[in-house]
Amino acid sequence: MSDKKFYNPEVCPYCGSYSIAGISHAEYDADYAWREVECIVCEKSWKELFTLAGAELEDKSVLPTKDHSKTKLASATEARIRGILEQLKDFCEEEDDG
């Protein structure tokens, strides 16, 4: 479990010293990374955990644009309106019969 709430990456969480140093290179998994940090004063060590914040693509053509989402929304709205119109049509036809 991460203790991020209580953690300041600039000071040793045990003694408050600013003399801390990363003692291992970061290791990466699919969407998080971690590295070991050591305090030079009290010699305790701990793991710093990092989570993936996002990605920056050089070729942004694969990203959905606002226009695409608008089109999608518009066609979903259109489908709903068509459904309502169908129901109204059925309703009116029933009224005509009666």
- Given the rule CB under 5 A, which residues bind Zn ion? 12, 14-15, 17, 39, 41-42
Q: Which one, 12 or 37, has the nearer CB to Zn ion?
A: 12
A 10 A CB-CB count for 14 gives 14
- Could you tell me which of 7, 3, 43 has the C-alpha nearest to residue 23? 43
Q: Which one, 34 or 46, has the nearer CB to Zn ion?
A: 46
Q: Which one, 17 or 77, has the nearer CB to Zn ion?
A: 17
DSSP letter for each residue of 44-84: -EEEEEEE------S-GGGSPPHHHHHHHHHHHHHHHHHHH
Q: Cβ of residue 15: shortest distance to Zn ion, in angstroms?
A: 3
Q: Cβ of residue 44: shortest distance to Zn ion, in angstroms?
A: 5
Q: Cβ of residue 41: shortest distance to Zn ion, in angstroms?
A: 5
